[in-house]
Structure 1
Amino acid sequence: MLSWRRENQAEAYQVESGRRGDATAADELAGMSSLVRRLAEAAAELAWPTRCVCCDAPGELLCASCRSRLGWICQRWACPTCGAPYGWVSCTECGRSRGEAWETRACVCALPLEGAARSLALAYKDAGERRLAPVIAATVACALDEAASWLAADGAARFDASAVDTVCFVPATRTAYRRRGFDHMLDVARSLSGMLGLPLADVLARPHARDQRKLGREDRLANASSSMRVVGDVTGCSLLLVDDVVTTGASVRAAARALLEAGASDVTAAALARTW
């Protein structure tokens, strides 16, 4: 019996040693991959130095000088329904003053679409500067933090992270995805979810939509409304829906409508910029 135990203990030790060896090898491989990645990044920085997307100054994607000149939307005066600047009392952008209702319970936008905000959006989406995703996410997070101090139309805070179940995003159209090679809002939403300590849910798809930038207001509404699909279970969820730019609101409204029809309890929208 003792001999049997010793043999089994020896076998168990060999198995455990093998596991430790595998773990050590995996750690070494991960370390080598990390080193190779850092060396590649350093080489790329030498060949193509990072420059500010707004003023072209070297060193950062968004330099301190340009950050200091960001034209933040004051959430105190912004429209709680569509996020337009100065729409708190009476908003002509979303028709709130005429009694029209949006599907989102609130919409928070960080910047007016001009100057630095336009440069950020274009450099990220059209120039493929994917390192801007966390910069854009941090900008949105700052706006949400301020909006938490002000009320939405339902009498609750415009944003309350403790009341949100998950972060989702307005997906790119198929045409935009092919042109860019990536879904730009996925990276932003992933960064934002980490900053807010919330899970990320990829639950929306737009298989048949055309590029919104080529369409007028009415065509945008029709295009967005007919194209948004929910591809995940959102039953009973309170969602934070993220987009890059709110223009007419067609995309966020269509996405919110689809989510609500699929069983979501409520949708709060947030975006980098708002046209005005």
Structure 2
Amino acid sequence: MTGLGEAVRRSAAAARDLMLPRGCAGCDRPDQVLCDDCRAVFQGCEPRVLTGCAMGGAMACAPYRGETRHAILGWKDHGDEELDGVFGELLADLAQRGGLIAWCRGLPASDLPVWVVPLPSSSRSMRRRGRHHTMPLAKAVAARMRAQGVDAVAVAALLSTATGGRSVEQGNAADRGRRIGGHIVCDDSYGMRGRVVVLVDDIITTGATMRQCAAVAGDAGACVATLLALAQTPSAATR
């Protein structure tokens, strides 16, 4: 999105917020971005199977239902960018309570910082949203890691070559798997070999995206520590 287009969009959002004061993204409680009760729903730590991870798997904050679903959809598909900071903090909390930061502190000394890599979206989704919506999450996790003594930086080292893009609400698991298959690649401007990588995503649905990203990063010579996500759909729990 051009700078002018982004400025127009932000101005429109500001005008909307003045005329229509916001409610909690999860439960619509007035005058809060995400109320304390809805924040508490994101305070879990649910492990998910992900082969190829040095820590044994992925982690999600919460199930994708109810308040979490409402909040994430508003942020992801309806431009609620005020949630960037809140969701970034929640995912950074997950990195801490889930043991990622302690695990990274135990790594051998290295001059290479840990890379926190957001999972990529299709080009169509990027154009529709006007931004890489998971990058603020990756930056927040990297910032928390640095604050806790782990050298880390957010890097968009993975790309999607897919041209389509639909909301997580649309399509069944088989359709999603076909759309994702083979569309994740490393950005040639980055070298992953020898890097410790933490993957970051918004929602684990079928698990196909995270598995492919972990495989691509591993094939490129990276050590994938884990994947952090805001939520996971119930079907993902058994995968």
Which band: TM-score by shorter chain? 0.7 to 0.9
Aligned residue number for residue 126 of structure 2:
177
Alignment partner of 2:177 out of 221, 233, 243: 221
- C-alpha spacing 1:267/1:218, structure 2 compared with 1 (3 Å): farther
- C-alpha spacing 1:41/1:221, structure 2 compared with 1 (3 Å): closer
- C-alpha spacing 1:159/1:269, structure 2 compared with 1 (3 Å): farther
Distance in structure 2 (CA, Å) of the matches to 1:42 and 1:209: 31
Aligned residue number for residue 80 of structure 2:
129
- C-alpha spacing 1:42/1:114, structure 2 compared with 1 (3 Å): closer
Aligned residue number for residue 160 of structure 1:
103
Matches within 5 A, 1:248-267: 248-267=206-225
Q: Normalized against structure 1, the TM-score is what?
A: 0.66
Aligned residue number for residue 116 of structure 1:
67
The offset of 1:240, in angstroms, is 0.6
For residues 136-181 of structure 1, give each alpha carbon's deviation from its aligned partner in whole angstroms, at most 9, with x where no partner exists: 1222222222221xxxxxxxx7962434712011011112112222
Aligned residue number for residue 143 of structure 1:
94
- C-alpha spacing 1:123/1:262, structure 2 compared with 1 (3 Å): same
The offset of 1:111, in angstroms, is 0.5
Alignment partner of 1:186 out of 135, 158, 161: 135
- C-alpha spacing 1:131/1:71, structure 2 compared with 1 (3 Å): closer
Aligned residues: 206
The offset of 1:270, in angstroms, is 0.6
Distance in structure 1 (CA, Å) of the matches to 2:232 and 2:223: 25
The offset of 1:186, in angstroms, is 1.4
The answer (yes or no) to whether the contact 2:43–2:61 under 8 Å persists in 1 is yes
The offset of 1:116, in angstroms, is 1.9
The offset of 1:261, in angstroms, is 1.1
The offset of 1:41, in angstroms, is 10
The offset of 1:182, in angstroms, is 1.6
- What percent of counterpart residues are identical? 26
Aligned Cα RMSD in Å? 2.7
Aligned residue number for residue 64 of structure 1:
36
Q: Does 1:104 align with 2:58?
A: no
For residues 46-78 of structure 1, give each alpha carbon's deviation from its aligned partner in whole angstroms, at most 9, with x where no partner exists: 44433211222232200123334x1643x4xx4
Between the two structures, name the one with larger relative contact order (CA 8 Å, sep ≥ 6). 2
Amino acid at match of 1:235: R
- Matched residue of 1:167: which SS? strand
The answer (yes or no) to whether the contact 1:72–1:110 under 8 Å persists in 2 is yes
Amino acid at match of 1:254: Q
Distance in structure 2 (CA, Å) of the matches to 1:247 and 1:260: 21
| Unmatched runs of 5 consecutive residues or more in structure 2 | 1-11, 108-112, 147-151, 235-239
- C-alpha spacing 1:133/1:42, structure 2 compared with 1 (3 Å): closer
Task: Choose between structure 1 and 2: higher strand proportion.
Answer: 2
Amino acid at match of 2:136: D
Structure of greater Rg: 1
Amino acid at match of 1:258: V
- C-alpha spacing 1:131/1:249, structure 2 compared with 1 (3 Å): same
Q: Does 1:233 align with 2:191?
A: yes
Distance in structure 2 (CA, Å) of the matches to 1:246 and 1:158: 21
Amino acid at match of 1:177: M
Q: Does 1:270 align with 2:228?
A: yes
The answer (yes or no) to whether the contact 1:52–1:62 under 8 Å persists in 2 is yes
Alignment partner of 1:205 out of 153, 159, 162: 159
- C-alpha spacing 1:65/1:109, structure 2 compared with 1 (3 Å): closer
The answer (yes or no) to whether the contact 1:170–1:204 under 8 Å persists in 2 is yes
The answer (yes or no) to whether the contact 1:242–1:270 under 8 Å persists in 2 is yes
| Unmatched runs of 5 consecutive residues or more in structure 1 | 1-39, 83-101, 149-156
Distance in structure 1 (CA, Å) of the matches to 2:101 and 2:141: 17
